[in-house]
Amino acid sequence: MSKKKQTFLLNTVIGFLSVLLLVLIVALLTRLIYPRISTDRTDHLSHLISEVIQIEVLNGCGVPGIATRFTNALRNNGFDVVDSGNFESFDVRETIVIDRSGNLDHARRIARALGISEQNIIRETSPNFYLDATVVIGSDYEKLKLN
């Protein structure tokens, strides 16, 4: 290689390394002046995740489509309905909320959202359930809140 080409190549490498050094210095100064606040965001997100109430809605009165109606209403109220279907029988008179996770506050929030008396909350916790609660719609569904 000629002397001119070597000098040009050397100057190009030095120029590239100078630009890279400048970028790294700017990044370091930016990090020092504007530190990231990741702990607050993480705490906020974990708070939101812990407030998500996962429920299933079951038809206990035999009215076709009633579980779907209440599933939509509960989702509109911010609940995470992960399953809906039929209860083991269709002779449930009053709608009940079954606490599955042991967090009675979650069951109370669901009951308030639907206008269900706290007397209709049943505790039935089990490690086999991966839900917070089960709502069984009874024959009193016309008295419940759907908004």
pLDDT, tens only, 70-122: 999 999 889 999 999 999 999 999 999 999 988 899 999 999 999 999 999 99
- Both tokens assigned to 54: 């996962």
Confidence of residue 44 (pLDDT cuts 50, 70, 90): very low
* pLDDT interval class at 37 (50, 70, 90): low
- Domain membership flag for residue 41: no
- The rounded distance, in Å, linking the Cα atoms of 82 and 73 is 13
- Number of structural domains (the chain) is 2
pTM of the model as a whole: 0.65
Distance CA 18, CA 12 (A): 10
Domain of residue 104: give its range. 47-143
Residue 45 pLDDT greater than 90, yes or no: no
My answer on whether 84 and 112 are in the same domain is: yes
- Say whether pLDDT at 48 is over 70: no
Does residue 42 sit within a domain? no
Contact residues for 26 (Cβ-Cβ < 8 A; gap 6+): none
Please check whether residues 28 and 53 belong to one and the same domain. Answer: no
Q: Are residues 86 and 20 in the same domain?
A: no
What is the amino acid identity at position 77?
A: N
